[in-house]
Structure 1
Amino acid sequence: MAQMYFYYSAMNAGKSTTLLQSSFNYRERGMSPVILTAAIDTRFGKGKVSSRIGLQEDAELYAPEDDLWEKLQALHRESKIDCVLIDECQFLTKDQVYQLTEVVDKLHVPVLCYGLRSDFRGELFEGSRYLLSWADKLVELKTICHCGRKANMVIRQDESGQAIADGDQVEIGGNDRYVSVCRKHYKEALGR
């Protein structure tokens, strides 16, 4: 029975690495996964999923206005899809998360979503909120804070390395802009 999975964590926990490993496993068994990534994230090139350890694979792009049910249904008609892998799933809209449930429930294709749970303000992303509500399986991937505790928060930093408390929810960046920390160090960095 197909299910929807939400693999979530703070930054640098290996979400993209895990996604790419899943893709490899499906292909190794002669199956056909489809990888989707957010069009907004072009850090590693347009239509690329890359991990910090050097793995990379091409991906279909999705934007907020895309109907993923229609897109995946069309791809499935062209050539059978055995699995859908979504990178940067925090950028999904509520409607798109619902559309992915349709892929699971009507096409019987598993959907594995990988992304951040919360932003630098400690608030849920829209896609993450509905994945937490509607996914069949929730899996937390873990990374560590500089103190050794589990990192479950993300700090956005300015050019001088100071924590930023306000701003737009979405600002694409990597280790140059964000650092994963435990809740204690998150609060300390923001003076709370």
Structure 2
Amino acid sequence: MAKLYFYYASMNAGKSSTLLQADFNYRERGMRTMLWTAQLDTRSEGMVRSRIGLEADAHRYTPATDLWAGVMAAHRAEPLDAVLVDEAQFLTRDQVWQLARLADEAGIPVVCYGLRTDFQGELFPGSAALLGIADKLVELKGVCHCGRKATMNLRVDSTGAAVKEGAQTEVGGNDRYVALCRKHFSEALAG
């Protein structure tokens, strides 16, 4: 029975590289996968890219993308063995339900990878929906500078100071975000 999986973590925990490794494993066994990533992440240019240099072509989704229709069209042309979604925090609630439907009705395993929370410790809509309905939740562990598990994503400005307010979504990498444990995240926000 196919399942909906959600692998979540802070920044720099290896979500994209884990997705790419899973894709490689499927393909090495002669299986067909379909990769998706958020069009909002302009760093990717239609690719799933990891910080360690791995990459693969991916379809891009927006909030208006009907993932059920897109995946099923590809599946009818040539059966898929898995769907892998990067930057899953940017999915809408409806898209998460479309992915669940792919697992439940089409029998295609769907594996999503994304951040759990934003720079203020709030759940992203896609992550909230996945935490609520995924069949399996897997936390990937990042590391804070103190050695504890990093669970928070601190947004920083060009001087490295904590950013406390702003839009939930601002695309960036190590130049804009630092993965921290809750203690150091709270201390950074307190100033």
Deviation at 1:72, TM superposition (A): 0.8
Aligned residue in 2 for 1:113: 112
Give secondary structure in 1 for the equivalent of 2:190.
coil
Matches within 5 A, 1:52-131: 52-131=51-130
How many angstroms apart in 2 are the aligned matches of 1:5 and 1:89? 11
Aligned residue in 2 for 1:190: 189
1:125 aligned partner, one-letter code? F
How many angstroms apart in 2 are the aligned matches of 1:119 and 1:85? 22
How many angstroms apart in 2 are the aligned matches of 1:3 and 1:131? 12
How many angstroms apart in 2 are the aligned matches of 1:135 and 1:57? 25
How many angstroms apart in 2 are the aligned matches of 1:159 and 1:52? 20
Aligned residue in 2 for 1:9: 9
Give secondary structure in 1 for the equivalent of 2:126.
helix
Aligned residue in 2 for 1:41: 41
1:78 aligned partner, one-letter code? A
Q: What's the RMSD between the two structures over aligned residues?
A: 0.8
Aligned residue in 2 for 1:28: 28
Deviation at 1:78, TM superposition (A): 1.1
Deviation at 1:90, TM superposition (A): 0.2
How many angstroms apart in 2 are the aligned matches of 1:143 and 1:89? 17
Deviations 1:116-156 (A, max 9, x none): 00000000000000000010000000011000010000100
2:11 aligned partner, one-letter code? M
1:51 aligned partner, one-letter code? S
How many angstroms apart in 2 are the aligned matches of 1:91 and 1:167? 17
Give secondary structure in 2 for the equivalent of 1:169.
coil
How many angstroms apart in 1 are the aligned matches of 2:12 and 2:157? 19
Deviation at 1:42, TM superposition (A): 1.8
Give secondary structure in 1 for the equivalent of 2:98.
helix
Deviation at 1:105, TM superposition (A): 0.6
> Any gaps of 5 or more consecutive residues in structure 1?
none
> TM-score scaled by structure 1?
0.98
How many angstroms apart in 2 are the aligned matches of 1:135 and 1:52? 26
Count of residue pairs brought into register by the alignment: 191
1:108 aligned partner, one-letter code? G
1:20 aligned partner, one-letter code? L
How many angstroms apart in 1 are the aligned matches of 2:148 and 2:179? 11
Deviations 1:11-55 (A, max 9, x none): 0000000000000000000000100000011213x1111111110
Give secondary structure in 2 for the equivalent of 1:25.
helix
1:133 aligns with 2:132: yes
Give secondary structure in 2 for the equivalent of 1:105.
helix
How many angstroms apart in 2 are the aligned matches of 1:64 and 1:78? 25
